[in-house]
A = this chain, B = another copy of it.
Amino acid sequence: MMEYAERMKNIKASDIRELLKLTDRPGMISFAGGLPAPELFPVERLKEITVKVLETSGAEALQYATTEGFEPLRRQISERMNRRCGTCLTKNNILITSGSQQGLDFTGKIFLNEGDVILCESPTYLGAINAFNAYGPRMIEVPTDNDGMLTDELEHILNTVENIKLIYTIPDFQNPSGRSWSRERRKRFMELIKGRNIPVLEDAPYSELRFDGDAIPSLASLDREGSVIYLGTFSKVFCPGMRIGWVAADERILEKYILVKQGADLHSAGITQRNISMYLDTYDLDEDIVKIRSVYKGRRDAMHNALRANFPGESKFTHPEGGLFTWVELPVDIDTREMLEECLENNVAFVPGSSFFPNGGGKNTMRLNFSNMPEDKIKEGIMLLGKIVRNQGD
């Protein structure tokens, strides 16, 4: 028998990925994945763009390139962030990654020794738990309400727990809960971490997808010490199949990410980086995003209406002002993981909420994605799901 490294004991198959395989079945109504709506991908425009990239710089686009990423794209991203998030970045603060998942892995590699502590929201993103687990950390969940991490609890943890090496946050339309941190909570959070030299990872894949309410400043824009590391991606506002995301950070910290990227895969694909860069130059991505928001808002509303009509009265739902997910808390005697098989047999899928609690719990919760199914399928699927939920415990 081959002998594996100790860390492999911590690396387990993700429930979501295993589930996604089943949800490929024809007829399945899936609220499981975190998939954007493919009918909104700019396929026609990309045909034109990719031909133009190959015509104007084919050899360069297909050759090895610098680890940092395609310089014009890094500049475009920094300018876009400065405009949208109120940051003060240049291209030298940007490293292009293969999706923001890669940024999560690199963050673990850069900051975590075995046994170090990560603070995270409760619940938190499953893909981050998986990425960090490779580095053997202890994850402490900071109690979280509808306005974000509870700062009193956070302060207590910061003052009493040793070896805190990272705070992992998703302040906008969190995965899985759909919640956003309030402006006040963000300010208080930044005050609390001041002077502690603990890196804060702001994972922001959904932040441009706000349907309701006013924009709230990113943690990166409130940062005066260079301790916030921001992960962005084109996966949710453009398309995920190009696998292009980025890390925005203080130059000294970014240097570490560049070194790690070099060893990990040399650089992200030049051809896809140049496609996105030319797309940003040629078309108005903000306009595309207006369209995406309006479609997702309709789907969120369809899901919420269906949830209210079909789920037991004691169920609680979050009310996301953007993003891709709604979070459901069912009566405590229901175990959503046990319910899942019956749901899949009935052609409706979701992710059991317990997957999102690194230390267990949340058995009666579920994550529902609303971005990937049209409104009629959402209604039909929630009706099916509601029927199975209501039959639990019979």
Contact = CB atoms under 8 A, between A and B. Distances in A.
Interface stretch (A3-11, A182-190, A356-364): A3-11
A256 B62 contact: no
A291 to B, nearest CB: 16
Interface in A6-58: 6-8, 11-14, 17, 20-21, 33-36, 38-39, 41, 43, 46-47, 50-51, 54-55, 58
A5 B260 CA distance: 12
A95 B54 CA distance: 27
Contacts of A46: 54, 58, 62
Nearest to A238: B62
When all copies of this chain in the complex are counted, the total is 2
Interface residues on A, range: 35 or more
A7 B51 CA distance: 42
Nearest to A252: B2
A74 interface: no
A62 B135 contact: no
A242 B56 CA distance: 17
B51 A241 contact: no
A180 interface: no
A269 B96 CA distance: 14
Interface in A257-309: 259-260, 262-272
A304 B270 CA distance: 33
A340 to B, nearest CB: 20
Top 8 A-B residue pairs of the complex, sorted by shortest distance between their CB atoms:
A43-B58, A62-B239, A38-B59, A241-B270, A62-B241, A98-B265, A102-B265, A130-B263
